[in-house]
Structure 1
Amino acid sequence: MTSSSERTFISSAAPTTPLAARMRPHDLSSYIGQSHILGEGQPLTQALHNKQVHSMLLWGPPGTGKTTLAQIIANEVDANLITLSAVSSGVKDIREAMAMTHPGITTIVFVDEVHRFNKSQQDAFLPYIESGAITFIGATTENPAFSCNNALLSRCRVYVLQALSDDELIGIAKQALLTDSWLVEQELQIDDDALLTLASLASGDARRTLLYLELGAQLAIDKHITKVTIAQAAGQKVAQFDQQGDHYYDLLSAFHKSVRGSSSDGALYWYTRYL
């Protein structure tokens, strides 16, 4: 029999839509992070205030707001938004999407994981970008200099999105606790050190922050979220390592530099990270 101290207290079933989707911002005022490109006076911010938009590539780690920013840009300039995923789309899908454009209507084509498109698939966008039929926004976790062809790069402005700071992640978590209807209904209490643990385990990823927060809310005892609750929600932390991607080469470079510099401790450290 379960004792009262071991029971969790959830007053209603969690929604089927993930918290990250429920908390997705719809305008710049509610968007947290990336102040280096969205701060006051920044070129992208000024362009959006003037209802202007240009083709761009959004490059950054997962959970930094690339998809959300593309949707906000479309909202800010009152554009028709067509979304494609490079994981599941081909040239045929691209051409069908292009057929949906209309003269006189601003159309943004957003391609998620654009680095997964091959050269011919990326080239399929070029005539439409060149003619002004569409504004292209691509999102990628890989360096565009290596993952996108030169013809596409020459027509797009690259914006580098940064991993969110701990303060920004804590701000996102607090915002969710105050505004998400399901979380508000739970009347949860969360310790300050639980918020710090949450931000640390999320490693700059807003999506992961909200995932751990939602799981922590479901695991909360007496409607109280502690750092232990968050650690249980996060489970075992898996190191980020994208084979053949930027992190792969960053680790190799660090290892080589340590060897060349005769730093045995550094070489051993980076070799261990590589393994």
Structure 2
Amino acid sequence: MSAADEETALLGLAPVAPDRTVPYGPHPDQVVDLYGCRPGAGPLVVLLHGGFWRAAYDRRHLSPCAAELARHGLPVALAEYRRVGAGGGAPQTFQDVPAAVAAAAEAGAEPGGPPREVVLVGHSAGGHLALLAAASPGTPVTRVIAVAPVADLARAHELGLSDGAVAGLLGPGPGFAGRLAAADPVRHPPAGVPVTLLHGTADPDVPVDLSRRYAAAHPAATALHELPGTGHYAALTPGTDAFGALLALLRGAGPAAGGSTGCRPGHPA
């Protein structure tokens, strides 16, 4: 499947309505959609969508993914957050992620039961945000899976990914270098949270090299699984081999068998 076909396959899916929606702030985008959060279900998956942090892309394109994970017995909290062009960007976007995770964990908890394991899954720009969350001391997140993440922000800025999306996220003006350093996951190791990267080798939107750089910078806490010949969207598209690899990782079984997934823990840049 070509990169264009992958994009069409995911973005062409009809949105799936959640079981319920929980707000975590006054802004319309400060909400979390819940799928399959029922007693006895497995660990809570908090899902962060991508779109290069821009308001043009919202959580609805990952709602079929959320619903399919819930169908496989994994309760999902699909988080929205403020984005560039609609009240977001630095620092608002960064503030929303921990607030969304906390609200999701509370909403997904079983009454009177122990806290659920919280697995944070982020795609693309959402993968960048998930990696930043992994570096935050005291996070309730127990594992992070970053799918095709913008894992090296400085390199993404150098490459001008998506017409300068990093500059749009961080904003113009004095202090840009400091804002870039503060928001760059490659400069901030995970704070006791294991990180798994899942990245297609044929990704034209976020090159796999960015994940390789992150894995090389933080080898002790990171496992990199590469998907040969896979682009940017397949791992979030139900029914694909790459989605099967994501599901296997969420279940703790490693990538799906069949030769479509390569495992390269700590692979250097």
TM-score, scaled to structure 2? 0.29
Q: Which has the larger radius of gyration?
A: 1
When the two structures are superposed, what TM-score results if normalisation uses the length of structure 1? Answer: 0.28
Which of the two has greater strand per residue? 2
